[in-house]
Chain A
Amino acid sequence: MIPLLVGISLISFFIMHLAPGDITTSEASFNPKASEESRQKLRELYSLDKPIIVQYGLWLKRMATLDFGTSFASHQRPVFWQSKDKDGNLTLGMIQEALPITLLINVLSLIFIIAIALPLGVISALKQNQLADRSITLFVFIGFAIPGFWLALMLMYWMGVQNAWLPISGLQSIEHENMGWLTQILDTLKHLVLPVFISAITGLAGISLFARNGMLEVLNQDYITTARSKGLSENRVVYGHALRNALLPLITILGLAIPGLIGGSVITESIFAIPGMGKLFYDAVLMRDFPVIMGILTIGAALTLVGNLFADIAYAWADPRVRRGVVK
């Protein structure tokens, strides 16, 4: 895994540097008061004047000690984890702050998706080509096709402006600090309703169609016919025998979803003013904030590899056929 990780980081490093410009070419620097010499000096201070391979070597050397470095654009904030200066001032890491927020939203929306999409998929399979199946498919595709930002703004207007049911944007109320812990949790949850809903609604289609197709495939197999001919109840056949087998491929999907969990959506995060990973990465790319870009890519790559590993292990655990193949 380590060589793979080094390979991924090497490729991302070079691709990142293929894009023209660096931190000194950001829009803020296009100011007649900022001179070219000053910008050249900045380049030297950030080692951006050295050949790319040397810069990569420097980065790798720091990574060997798990030092993700500090951001160019955000006043030297640590990219990954908090650091303490000599006077004991604690500075939180950028990924450290953004990651839990994004994880929370994505895990909640994944749970939401599975809780809704699985039953929808099973019903679709059982009622194949009937009205219920057709309307479920139509519904999930509307969810998939609807522009997220538009739906988000409409819901914000309806639930936040016209009716004060939910907060419009942000992660916490301004008076959050003065609340009791229970109200604090409630406050955060209220802020999360719309973002989670928006990121879930587009994901329904994938999982529900996946469950539907898996179910259909399984329902046509011999052992289901056997189960039915044994006289088992329909519920037993569907939920006891068919569903369990139809769910196997979902493990792979969930394994692949792990890296997706740490990448937030730029559009959702911008509209709802949520300081998550999507916005962090997007801003870093625009600012050419190389340490932040590399930090997120490396952590993303590592999590993808770990996710794959987990998916393989889980698969072996769930499916005896795979397990025996592994043992042999």
Chain B
Amino acid sequence: MHFCHFKKIALLALLSTCLTACGDGSANKENAAQINYNINYPSSNGGTLIEATTGEPSGLIAMIAGESAASAIAGNIFNSLLKYDKDLELTGELVESWDISEDQKTITFHLKPNLKWADNQALTSEDVLFTWQKVTDEKTRTPYGSDYKLVIKAETPDLNTFRVSYAAPYAPALETWASLHILPKHLLKDQDINSTAFARNPVGSHYYKLDKWKNGQYLKLTRNENATQGQAKIDHLLSRIIPDKAAQFLELSADNIDLMGLNPIQYARIFPARPDLNNKIALYKELGNSYTYLGFNLKRKPFDDIRVRQAINYAINKQEIIDGVLLGLGEPVASPYKPGTRWSNPELKPYPYDPSKAKALLKAAGYKDHDNDGILDKDGKPFHFEILTNQNKEREMTGVLIQRRLKEIGIDANIRVLEWASFLGRFIKPKEFDVVVLGWSLSLDPDQYSIWHSSQQAPGQFNFISYNNTRVDKLLEAGRLELDPDKRMKIYHEFSKVLLEESPIVYLSAGYGLTAIHKRVKGISKPAPPAGIGHNTYEWYIPKAYSRNEMSEH
């Protein structure tokens, strides 16, 4: 009999769980609201910043790990020779200055004096040379070696000088020295870099050093007393690995984490409806260096016809995609560069949404609805193709919006969604596709030789849409040889202009990176400079009054 009761109680418990959880209970919100996070306490040292990340790094040697989770954390531990400042100009990190030779083929880096590793050993040009040797070593399992293999000679005239020579001037060279983490020779010279335990127990020279790595749970970084760039204010950085965004969000609302990346729904729908969250969490949106596009397979008919490509470009409503998919949190783009940066040509405007122009262009290309079935046809064949994309909610939704707009002008498009490795291996590499919806996430250097140059079309290379334009080829080659930023800018403005006219891809949108940071964290630049709020994380601080109790004992 008593089991009967138990069951009823269990049932009740389950029901009440659903009810209370769905309802907007506010048991614990008054407590949270009592703390006023808007007081501007003076800057102070200490505290722990807890951030959530979806993926665990595979190791902290970025050149081998390769994934963004690794570079993000390793970027707090290792220095590069150069860095981008808050205005996205290159400046010295480990180096004081650098000279470029008259013929523009040799770069000499002058290291800052008295640099030290976290273990107190001296950091010298020997370490830089060692790192270069490792990244170009045939046995090193890195996908990023090719840029550094262009160096024909690397030498260390003295402990503070590092010199590299290229066979020909290579404009993106400086940027490559801003992304290579310098590794300590004294710890790695007898190690196999592919399997060394150093990757999980690194010694670097930047603001932080690794304190503890709990596999699958968190990585804890602690301030490095020997930091080459001065002292950061926050004592500990803790990255908690929480794969699910919804769970991250719950942790954020319960004050358990301080920083996470949001998705558009969380940013645009949940936050405005939750004043309690807005009291303690600040939101930031900034344009990343990435964009989504629709790319044509230019080897396939009818996409070799510029009129067809332009017609499709006019037929797609980009604002609709930004509003519908990104909930307004994006911008239209007209060049493959981040809007507002030097490389983005301000004169270029995206193709407006203009279905009648699209129809006229298609008519000129010979398409007409002969059999009155609503689908255009040419030579007896209906205009039909497949939009291919990978498993990514935003890209799938984008595909659906495009499909509808194409239908309106008489084009019949299917959508096919694939898992990433199949997508790449079976369709992109052998070029077995009509049209793809994809995105590019790019570095700050404007060189896009590997994406657009006609020589880069072999299977596995990045010009998989088979774009071939002699004018663009020439401009890309010139851009690689030109080290003067202003002359270089003109080259890439011209390049973007040709690209927009030719419409080998349709630029769809550039989405904002959305970040939520707890208001206990102070010192964040507002408004954000071009490099974004992350440019001065070492100046962020957590006033004592706002730091977590449980952390104070550390």
Residues of A within 8 A of B (CB): 19-22, 24-42, 45, 70, 73-76, 85, 87, 89, 91-92, 97-98, 119-120, 123, 132, 135-136, 139, 142-143, 153-158, 160-164, 168-175, 177-178, 269-275, 279, 286, 288
Of all chain A residues, the one with the shortest Cβ separation from B7 is: A136
A272 to B201, CA, bound (A): 27
Q: Which one of B64-72, B324-332, B527-535 is at the interface?
A: B64-72
Picked from A34, A41, A73, A164, the residue with its CB within 8 Å of the CB of B254 is A164
* A28-B67, A34-B144, A155-B17 known; A41-B201 Cβ under 8 A: no
Query: Smallest CB–CB gap between B372 and chain A, Å?
Result: 41
B300 within 8 A of partner (CB): no
B240-274 toward A: CB 8 Å interface, digit per residue (1/0)?
A: 11111011001101101000000000000000000
Query: Is A75 touching B424 in the complex (CB atoms < 8 A)?
Result: no
Collect the chain B residues with CB atoms within 8 Å of residue A270's CB: 243-244, 247
Collect the chain B residues with CB atoms within 8 Å of residue A38's CB: 142-146
A142 to B12, CA, bound (A): 13
Query: Could you jot down 30 A-B contacts, CB within 8 Å?
Result: A19-B422, A20-B422, A20-B424, A21-B420, A31-B143, A32-B450, A34-B66, A34-B144, A34-B146, A35-B146, A38-B142, A38-B146, A45-B141, A75-B58, A75-B59, A75-B200, A91-B197, A91-B200, A132-B4, A154-B17, A154-B21, A156-B250, A158-B25, A161-B250, A163-B28, A170-B217, A170-B240, A171-B217, A174-B238, A269-B243
Query: Is B25 touching A162 in the complex (CB atoms < 8 A)?
Result: yes
Collect the chain A residues with CB atoms within 8 Å of residue B458's CB: 36
Most chain B Cβ neighbours within 10 Å, of A27, A269, A272, A279: A27
A34 to B462, CA, bound (A): 10
Which secondary structure characterizes the binding site on chain A? helix
A33 to B422, CA, bound (A): 21
Collect the chain B residues with CB atoms within 8 Å of residue A70's CB: 195
Query: Is B64 touching A139 in the complex (CB atoms < 8 A)?
Result: no
B8 within 8 A of partner (CB): yes
* A21-B424, A33-B144, A89-B197 known; A98-B216 Cβ under 8 A: yes
Picked from A39, A136, A171, the residue with its CB within 8 Å of the CB of B143 is A39
B215 within 8 A of partner (CB): yes
Picked from A27, A91, A132, A162, the residue with its CB within 8 Å of the CB of B7 is A132
Of all chain B residues, the one with the shortest Cβ separation from A88 is: B197
A274 to B247, CA, bound (A): 12
Collect the chain A residues with CB atoms within 8 Å of residue B17's CB: 154-155, 158
Query: Smallest CB–CB gap between B472 and chain A, Å?
Result: 16
Query: Smallest CB–CB gap between A170 and chain B, Å?
Result: 6
Collect the chain A residues with CB atoms within 8 Å of residue B212's CB: 177
Collect the chain B residues with CB atoms within 8 Å of residue A136's CB: 7
Collect the chain A residues with CB atoms within 8 Å of residue B197's CB: 85, 87, 89, 91
Beta-carbon contacts under 8 Å, B293-349 to A: none
A97 to B288, CA, bound (A): 36
* A91-B200, A271-B247 known; A28-B462 Cβ under 8 A: no
Shortest beta-carbon contacts, A-B, top 4: A275-B216, A21-B421, A75-B59, A89-B197
B34 within 8 A of partner (CB): no
Of all chain B residues, the one with the shortest Cβ separation from A279 is: B243
A24 to B218, CA, bound (A): 26
B498 within 8 A of partner (CB): no
* A174-B50, A271-B247 known; A157-B242 Cβ under 8 A: no
Picked from A157, A174, A273, the residue with its CB within 8 Å of the CB of B241 is A273
Picked from A120, A135, A178, the residue with its CB within 8 Å of the CB of B553 is A178
* A20-B425, A73-B58, A169-B251 known; A92-B242 Cβ under 8 A: no
Picked from B8, B215, B461, B462, the residue with its CB within 8 Å of the CB of A135 is B8
B460 within 8 A of partner (CB): yes
B196 within 8 A of partner (CB): yes
Picked from B8, B20, B243, B426, the residue with its CB within 8 Å of the CB of A20 is B426
* A35-B146, A174-B50 known; A28-B66 Cβ under 8 A: yes
B90 within 8 A of partner (CB): no
B405-434 toward A: CB 8 Å interface, digit per residue (1/0)?
A: 000000000000001111011100000000
Query: Is B254 touching A168 in the complex (CB atoms < 8 A)?
Result: yes
B199 within 8 A of partner (CB): yes
A160 to B20, CA, bound (A): 13
A288 to B14, CA, bound (A): 40
Query: Is B247 touching A27 in the complex (CB atoms < 8 A)?
Result: no
Collect the chain B residues with CB atoms within 8 Å of residue A91's CB: 197, 200
Collect the chain B residues with CB atoms within 8 Å of residue A135's CB: 7-8, 11
- Given contact pairs A75-B194, A171-B217, enumerate 17 new A-B contacts (beta carbons under 8 Å): A27-B420, A29-B143, A38-B143, A38-B144, A38-B145, A89-B197, A120-B7, A123-B4, A135-B11, A143-B14, A155-B21, A161-B28, A161-B254, A164-B28, A169-B244, A270-B244, A271-B246
